[in-house]
């Protein structure tokens, strides 16, 4: 609540990244007559909200995690509504009944989990000690590791039969993730928002595609699992491979 003055900026950023960007991609794919698993995966990636680990990544990059957490909350809250608009035009998902069911499932999943989280924060975890924080960090890390291992099973299966497809898909995932991070953080700098450059870059490139797996029919997402698995790699290599970029980009000018 103390950052209410930044709510407008966060809202604009979320709408630009989760609504405008995927709609532009859908239009571009139609013009190029490009469809298939990677086209769908890129659309879902662009429409997804930031990953829950975005604040932790900003800390590892030496920046304030609060703006990243704000984008995570705003983006996740808006997701069922922005996804409704995007999926209505996404290739292979044009049926109104499918889109409405997906949006309803997203709203249910996010609503239930967020309600439980806020209830726990207001009751059991009202006063967070250092021990509690350490335990939560450990549980978060373990959960994220399990999710990553689960999402990457398609990579191992495909590598045994078609390693070239894995390499090409991984290159696409790195380009999409790191490309968005660099472009958005650079745009924030050009707009005079140096304090938000790291947070906006990290949340722009690292998206929670896994949420769509809980809402979309398996027949639609199975083909995109290779991209989703490869996409986990650049997410967790962000501090290592883009640390130099963020450090130089946010360094105050003398």
Quote the pTM value: 0.88
Cross-strand bridge partners of residue 207: 50
Nearest Cα residue to 226 out of 150, 147, 153, 148:
153
Q: What is the DSSP string of 122-186?
A: HTTTSS--HHHHHHHHHHHHHHHHHHHHHHTHHHHHHHHH-HHHHHHHHHHHHHHHHHHHHHHHH
What are the pLDDT digits (tens) for 83-122?
988 888 876 665 656 778 888 888 898 999 889 988 988 8
Query: Residues 243, 87: contact at Cβ < 8 Å?
Result: no
Supply the mean pLDDT for the chain.
88
CB neighbour class for 45 (10 Å; exposed up to 12, middle 13-18, buried from 19): buried
* Alpha-carbon span 63 to 131, nearest angstrom: 23
CB neighbour class for 85 (10 Å; exposed up to 12, middle 13-18, buried from 19): middle
Q: What are phi and psi of 152, to 5 degrees?
A: -95, 5
* Alpha-carbon span 147 to 143, nearest angstrom: 6
Nearest Cα residue to 71 out of 86, 47, 54:
54
pLDDT at 133: 82
CB neighbour class for 46 (10 Å; exposed up to 12, middle 13-18, buried from 19): buried
**CATH of span 7-249:** 1.20.1530.20
Neighbours of 68 (CB within 10 A): 28
What are the pLDDT digits (tens) for 149-194?
888 888 988 999 999 999 999 999 999 999 999 999 999 999 999 9
Neighbours of 199 (CB within 10 A): 31
Please say if the pLDDT value at position 48 is more than 90.
Answer: yes
To which H or E segment does residue 29 belong? Answer: helix 21-32
pLDDT at 254: 61
* Alpha-carbon span 228 to 24, nearest angstrom: 20
């Amino acid at each position: 609540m103390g950052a209410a003055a930044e709510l407008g900026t966060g809202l604009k950023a979320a709408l630009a990244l989760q609504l405008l960007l995927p709609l532009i991609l859908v239009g571009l794919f139609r013009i190029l007559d490009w469809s298939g698993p990677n086209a769908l995966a890129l659309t879902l990636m662009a429409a997804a909200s930031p990953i829950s680990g975005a604040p932790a990544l900003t800390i590892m990059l030496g920046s304030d995690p609060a703006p990243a957490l704000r984008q995570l909350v705003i983006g996740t809250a808006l997701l069922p509504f922005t996804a409704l608009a995007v999926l209505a035009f996404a290739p292979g998902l044009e049926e109104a009944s499918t889109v409405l069911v997906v949006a309803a499932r997203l709203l249910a999943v996010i609503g239930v989990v967020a309600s439980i989280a806020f209830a726990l924060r207001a009751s059991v975890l009202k006063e967070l000690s250092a021990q509690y924080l350490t335990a939560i960090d450990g549980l978060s890390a373990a959960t994220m590791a399990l999710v990553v291992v689960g999402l990457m099973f398609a990579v191992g299966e495909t590598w045994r039969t078609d390693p070239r497809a894995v390499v090409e898909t991984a290159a696409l995932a790195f380009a999409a993730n790191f490309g968005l991070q660099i472009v958005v953080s650079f745009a924030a700098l050009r707009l005079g928002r140096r304090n938000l450059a790291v947070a906006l870059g990290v949340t722009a490139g690292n998206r929670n595609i896994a949420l769509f797996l809980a809402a979309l029919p398996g027949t639609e997402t199975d083909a995109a699992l290779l991209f989703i698995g490869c996409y986990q790699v650049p997410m967790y290599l962000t501090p290592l491979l883009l640390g130099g970029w963020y450090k130089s980009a946010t360094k105050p000018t003398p």
